[in-house]
Amino acid sequence: MVPMAYDALVLVSFGGPERPEDVLPFLQNVTRGRGVPPERLAEVAEHYLHFGGVSPINQQCRDLLAAIRDDFAANGVDLPVYWGNRNWDPMLADTVARMRDDGITRALAFVTSAYGGYSSCRQYQEDIASARAAVGPDAPLIEKLRQFWDHPGFVEPHADAVRAALAQLDPAKRDSTRLVFTAHSVPMSAAATAGPHGGRYTAQLEEVARLVHAAAAPDLAYDLVWQSRSGPPQVPWLEPDVNDHLATLPEQGVTGVVVSPIGFVSDHLEVVWDLDTEALETAKQLGLDFVRAGTPGTDPRFVAMVRELVGERTAPDGERLRRRLGELPAWDTCPALCCVPPARRP
C-alpha cells in the first residue's frame, strides 16, 4: 500500500475539442496572448475539422486513466486518479475543485509531457498553481512528478515502435533507410532558456533520439527534426521542419524513412495530422517509402512507469529525494523534483 503522504494522483494533459463547435474556442485558449494571427488559427482549425472536429487526445487520456487505475489496483496502490486539462474540458480548475470536495488534501500530478522547458514543464506548473488559486485556500496541494524523458517506460516503447515500423519496409532497402525523430518545435528563445543552464529541451530530445536509435537500429543513420510550429512567422523556431528535412533526403540516396515522434506520449492530432497526413504526403511526392512509428499510449511499460514515479515520491526514501532539491541550484523552470535525474537507464 502507498503511504498516505499523498491521497490522490491527477493526470494533467493538454486537452482537445470533441465537437466541431469547440474547435475555434479551444484554439483560442491554446494561443491566448501569443500573437497568433487569425488566419493561422483558421488553418489549424481545418486540421481538426478534417477529423470531424474531434481531437484524439481526450480519449487517449481516458484510456490512460483507465490503465493507470487498473495498474494501481493490481499493484496495491490505493490512490484515486483524477484528470484535468490545460485547454479544454475537463478543465484542471474544475478537477481541483472536485478533488477538494472529495476531501483530497495533497496530490501528485502526472503530466503527459516527458521533457523540460517552458511549454512542456513550467507551464504545467503554472496551470496547477492557477487552478489551485481559482479553487481557493482549501485547494489540495499538488506536486508534479518529475520529467520522465529517459525512463525505460518511455524509451523502450518508442524503440519497439521503431523496430515494428522498420519491419514494414523492404529489408532489401535497409541500407538506404533513415530514421527521423520528431518533436514539437518551440521558439529558439524558449529552447535557449530551457532549464537552469539553457538548452534542456533540445538536449533531452537529443539523448532520447540516441537511446532509441541505439536500441532499435544502431546500423542506420538518424536525424532529430521538428514539427507543429505555430506562433508569429517573424519569431524564429527550432528547425528544420520535418517536411523540409524529408525534401533533402532523396539527394542523399535515402529511399525510405521511419518517422518516430519521440516528443510525444500518444498519437494525438499533431501526430496524425503533421506526420500521418502532411509528412506522409511530402514523402509520397518525393518517392520515399514512409512509415510512422507509434507512441507509448497505454503500453504496459509506460503505465507501470507512472506507478514507479509515484513510488519514488511515496517510498520511505522519497523524503530523501525531496531533500535533494535543496542541494540543487535555485531556478524556477523545473521545480518539484523535475530536475532530479532518474535512477536508471534503459
Which residues are documented as binding site for Fe-coproporphyrin III?
A: 55, 124
Indicate the annotated binding residues: 55, 124, 184, 270
Give yes or no for a contact between 154 and 215, defined as CB atoms under 8 angstroms apart.
no
Q: What share of the chain is helix, strand, coil (3-state, %, to 5)?
A: 50, 15, 40
Distance CA 328, CA 320 (A): 13
Q: Which residue in this structure is represented by grid cell 511499460?
A: 301
Query: What is the spatial distance between Cα 282 and Cα 266, in angstroms, rounded to a whole number?
Result: 22
Peptide bond into 90 cis (omega under 30): yes
Separation CA 167–CA 165 (nearest Å): 5
* Cis status, amide bond into 20, omega within 30 of 0: no
Element holding 79 (H helix, E strand): none
The dihedral built from the CA positions of residue 163, 167, 168 and 172, taken in this order, carries a sign that is: positive
Q: What angle, 0 to 180 degrees and rounded to 10, lies between the N-to-C axes of helices 152-166 and 200-216?
A: 50
Annotated binding site for Fe(2+): 184, 270
Placement of cell 481516458 in the chain: 62
Nearest CA-CA partner of 213 in 180, 171, 246: 180
